[in-house]
Chains A and B, each alone.
Chain A
Amino acid sequence: MVRRHLALAGLALGPLVVLGVFFVVPVAGMVSRGFVVDGSLDVGGVLEVLARPRVHRVVWFTLWSAAAGTAASLLLGLPAAYALHRLDLPLRRGVRALLLVPFVLPTVVVGVAFRQLLGEAGPLGFLGLDGTPVAIVLGLTFFNTSVVIRAVGAAWEGLDPRPGEAAAALGATPLQVLRTVTLPALRPALVSAATVVFLFCATAFGVVLTLGGLRYSTIETEIYLLTTNLLDLQAAAALSVLQLVVIVVLLVLAQRLRATPDPTVQRALPRPRCPRRGDAAVLAATGLLLAFVLAPLLTLLAGSLRAGDAWSLANYRALGTTGDNQALLVPVTDALLNSLRTAVDATWMSLSVGLLVAVVVTRRSQTPSERRVRAGLDAVFMLPLGVSAVTLGFGFLVTLHSGVLDLRDSPLLVPIAQALVALPLVVRTLVPVLGGIDDRQRQAAASLGATPWRAVLTVDLPAVRRPLLAAAGFAFAVSLGEFGATSFLARDDRPTLPVVIFRLVGHPGELNYGMALAASVVLAGTTALVILAVERLRVPSVGAF
């Protein structure tokens, strides 16, 4: 008994220390900056911040844009989730992979692509949406439909069709079957997806910053503006705390909503059926989504291939330079290499910590208290999902500067921050796989004389090998596109590609903008390749929450 607990503590210790040093300390450091002014606690000042009219506007905008983004993602994502997981469509797998790409596309790239699409000169410029909240909501939706498709689609794919058939035989129309049988069965997955999407929308950074500018600010971009432009740390800290509180409340609420009268869901893998006449609406909606996803990307690609009024590769050739008027300190190609190197580091970091966490969380508990401890650990390592990457990045800057933790000049600083951002995704990919292994398999191995290590090699490793690879690809893609924390931490002479793109967009000059487009295409292409490779591994838990 004691040995079990020691083993649990030993395994959990490493990840906890990592999380403590690189997450809790920086975030706490950042937050305390705001609360402690000149050595004394100043709660009044923080409350004063929360009373500012601009803060009210920002909070209100954050909430409604996130709600609208969530609703739109669900609306667009549900028909596609059904069509791509239950119907036997040609190119089904290809379309599924394609629709997963937006989720890992760098936020900056998506921002640039939407401005290219909706801007005055863009194909949809006549709609006059550029710089409006609608554009921001569209951008958020673009990212998050893939989350809905993955999370709900995975649940829908495994849903036993027979209760629905029983209902239909009792006289329920297809819509009534959906409302009374299918949606209740999908409720846990729906609530999870909606929660995660709301979370992503409410903490979105790059896309809001590039599409909203200074006029429309969410809590996340406001924290950025307050810290970097206005140096108002107190206000930034107040907003960070507010964000944290809102997110914790949201997660607790979601947990409540997710509870169903009967959590046991019958799993089956029915074979996808041929589309019928009644599926026309669903297929049309899926087609619409596909167009919605492809339009900005194709506009981006087309824009990157234009120089002046002619088609040309000039923008791509210019990637070897530092741009017009020395917009950059290093050529874009250097930034790309730097991004790849950083992503490799971030991947092994998040993978090793994530694997440990997944093992600790999924081991069978023998007592209720042990189970609670494991569930608690599971929740704790989801925290980076809910905390603003900006807060994390700024927290790194203000705390990791003394003694052994003086990492500000270390090339590992950026990868560590990115690894923390990717950690929840790695854990969520591995936990269902490890949790799905019947413990009796290990017991059978042990009873046949296998040592614990040998049992792991025989039982766990074969099951977890492909998901591990998939999680690695996922972490790699997320790290390539990470912008929030990196924008604080990357040094000017060692920028990553998203940082460079953001800088190029901000600098005047046609060539700079063209280079930004070309760099976006390169970055999008790289992440898309990685994610398509991951999709080929066919691990259902990738990107499902």
Chain B
Amino acid sequence: MGLSLTDVTVEYADLRAVDDVSLELTTGKVLAVLGPSGCGKSTLLRAVAGLEPVRHGTISFDGQDLADVPTHRRGFALMFQDGQLFGHLTVARNVAYALRLRRVPADRRAARVRELLDLVGLSGFEERLPATLSGGERQRVALARALAVEPRLLLLDEPLSALDTTLRGRLATDLRHILRVAGTTALLVTHDHEEAFTVADEMAVMRDGRIVQSGGLADVWRRPVDVETALFLGYARVLTGDAAGRVAAAAGLPAAAALAVRRSALVAAADVSLTGPLTGTVSGPLTGTVSAVRSTPEQLRLVVDLDGLGELDAVAPLDAHLAPGDPVVVRVDPTRVALLGRQSGVDATP
């Protein structure tokens, strides 16, 4: 049991924002709907919340059709991208908002607020006003507010997108932990695949109003359904034809018509045949020369011109001492490439 969407369509005057979407979300799980901005994922979330009228299809929870249930009776909670805290209320009153609506006695209310602020790591913030909080703190308060009455379903609309990168990474981990501890069923929509991977158990990829792929995190990750999905999941490029076959073979994978490669899938090392034997290098069938080198704090990022394949991205350890023109051998990390589920025959470069 849990949330169930069957053939849901949401239309605006001139636009079909959500097109025939079916999804299942089991109680206790977290499902991420991942898609680029404008793909209709927020509209989908708002439809589940009861804020957008559904044109066709049914949304039901635990077997109950929600068509005639207004937003405030659905027992869900919605958390917006920018928190949408009530600016005129203190942090404590924001968190206690839903408790007040349900006439929870003051002492139990105060205890629950303390407990929730503790959970999100904001003890002692009770009397602050939202305007005095940082973006991350505001999102934590919004999360505490949403969790206050233990909603049957928590709806998260890009909960971390408004934050800067480092904070986003940290909060994503916290969010996952908090959702696990509270045992919350949650539907998360985001355009950030890192966020989806950190927080969710299951994933659905949405494009142009349709769900193009759904399943467990690892399944989707290992086998993107098409080129666009692969690129959206963070694969750097998709190889087709001869190139796909040779790189797949180098990774020890069966021949593939289309192969998605992450930026770090190709690992380059100095060519042993020219510089003499080096310990620890892995020989492989791919060889070529370095075209460009750029240093990052963690590794060298290279562009290598592979014999018969053309220029591809690759990485090397920081101590590899490579310079443009150096010959290299390139090993392929099989965990960083994915066979495409459906071939689309396009060599897409991001």
- List A residues at the B interface (Cβ < 8 Å): 160, 162-163, 165-174, 176-177, 180-181, 184-185, 187, 260-262, 264-265
Contact = CB atoms under 8 A, between A and B. Distances in A.
B47 to A, nearest CB: 12
Contact of B101 (A172, A174, A265): A172
Contacts of A185: 87-88
B207 interface: no
Contacts of A162: 80, 84
Contact of B76 (A163, A169, A172, A180): A169
Nearest to A181: B86
Nearest to A173: B72
Interface in B76-101: 76-80, 84-89, 97-98, 101
A180 B89 CA distance: 10
Contacts of A264: 87, 131
B60 interface: no
Interface of B: 46, 49-51, 70-80, 84-89, 97-98, 101-102, 129-131, 142, 145-146, 148-149, 155
Q: Specify the main secondary structure of chain A where it touches its partner.
A: helix
A169 B155 contact: yes
20 contacts: A160-B84, A163-B85, A163-B86, A166-B78, A167-B97, A168-B51, A168-B72, A169-B49, A169-B76, A170-B77, A170-B78, A170-B145, A170-B146, A170-B148, A172-B98, A176-B101, A177-B72, A260-B88, A262-B87, A262-B88
Contacts of A166: 78-80, 84, 142
Contacts of B51: 165, 168-169
A47 to B, nearest CB: 44
Contacts, number: 83
Contact of B78 (A160, A165, A173): A165
A262 B72 contact: no
Contacts of B70: 168
B152 to A, nearest CB: 11
Given A262-B129, A264-B87, A171 B149 contact: yes
Contacts of B131: 262, 264
A261 B49 contact: no
Contacts of A173: 72
Complex A-B, nearest 3 residue pairs according to Cβ-Cβ distance, in ascending order: A169-B78, A262-B87, A170-B98
A187 B89 CA distance: 14
Nearest to B52: A273
A185 to B, nearest CB: 7
A45 B310 CA distance: 104
Contacts of A260: 87-88
Contacts of B97: 167, 170, 172, 180
A171 B74 CA distance: 8
Contacts of B88: 184-185, 187, 260-262
B149 A170 contact: yes
A119 to B, nearest CB: 48
Contacts of A163: 84-87
Contacts of A174: 72
Given A165-B51, A166-B78, A261 B72 contact: no
A262 B86 CA distance: 9
B101 A165 contact: no
Nearest to B93: A180
Nearest to A271: B12
Contacts of A184: 86, 88
Contacts of A265: 87
Given A163-B85, A173-B72, A264-B87, 4 more contacts: A165-B78, A169-B71, A169-B78, A170-B72
A178 to B, nearest CB: 12
B129 A261 contact: yes
A177 B85 CA distance: 13
A160 B84 CA distance: 9
A135 B155 CA distance: 53
Nearest to A274: B53
Nearest to A278: B70
A265 B74 CA distance: 28
B71 A165 contact: yes
A160 B145 CA distance: 19
B101 A171 contact: yes
Contacts of B89: 261
A168 B75 CA distance: 10
A174 B101 CA distance: 12
Nearest to A264: B131
B310 to A, nearest CB: 45
A180 B131 CA distance: 18
